[in-house]
Amino acid sequence: MGKRNASPRRTPRPAQAPPARSQPPTPFDRELTTKRRAEISELAFALAAARQGFGISKPFGDSERYDIILDPAHVDCRKPQGRPRLVRVQVKSSTTLLHGLYRVATKRNIRGRNIAYTLAEIDFFAAYVIPEDSWFIFPLQHILGQTSLLLNPKSRRRAHCNDRYREAWDLLYEADGLEFA
């Protein structure tokens, strides 16, 4: 008896076939990985800060603890002009609701350990709530030592201790960031 040949591959029926694409998928068409979501959040922060009038710089590579450097000198007319100041901002985002609040991690991971940021590394922490297109701006000294934050959705009526940081762009104007001669 001879060996039976394997059945030929069938072509999918039209209802099973993937839709024909005339163009390659865009980054938004692909699944948003944590890294891609972080990159998009950094771009969104840069755009929002530019709309507030800040000068914006991005460090080369991703080895620094901060994601964006802001120059508030463009918008800081209230203070006497002294030495130029730059502000280091770490940007994170959240889509996760936990007991009715958005949870955002304020930590970094080194060898499996969660480490909080220090004042030597960053000046501000910006948290982007993606589903609401909302920014929370925290001076690091106000959340020092914490590894996560819970943020109130806009629709929630009960006040939360972090509500005062929602869209708190004015805190960035008053920063005691890095001084340069």
The structure tokens 């001879």 sit at: 2
The model carries a pTM of: 0.73
In a domain, 53, yes or no: yes
* Interstrand relation of 85-94 and 97-98 (parallel, antiparallel or unpaired): unpaired
Q: Is residue 16 part of a domain?
A: no
From the CA atom positions of the chain, what is the Rg in Å? 23
Q: What is the pLDDT of residues 47-85, one digit of tens each?
A: 999 999 999 999 988 778 899 999 887 665 555 555 568
Q: Where are the alpha helices (DSSP H) in 6-83?
A: 34-51
Residue 63 included in any domain: yes
Is 142 a member of any domain? yes
Q: Is residue 20 a part of any domain in this protein? A: no
Residue 19 lies in a domain: no
CA–CA gap between residue 76 and residue 91 (Å, rounded): 22
Give the phi and the psi of residue 93 in degrees, each rounded to 5.
-140, 165
Residue 68: which domain range? 34-176
Write down the residue that tokens 């890095």 correspond to.
178
Number of domains making up the chain = 1
Residue 91, token pair as written in the block: 């940007």
CATH no. for residue 78?
Answer: 3.40.1350.10
Condensed to tens digits (0 to 9), the pLDDT of residues 99-122 reads 889 999 888 888 888 888 989 999
8 lies in some domain: no
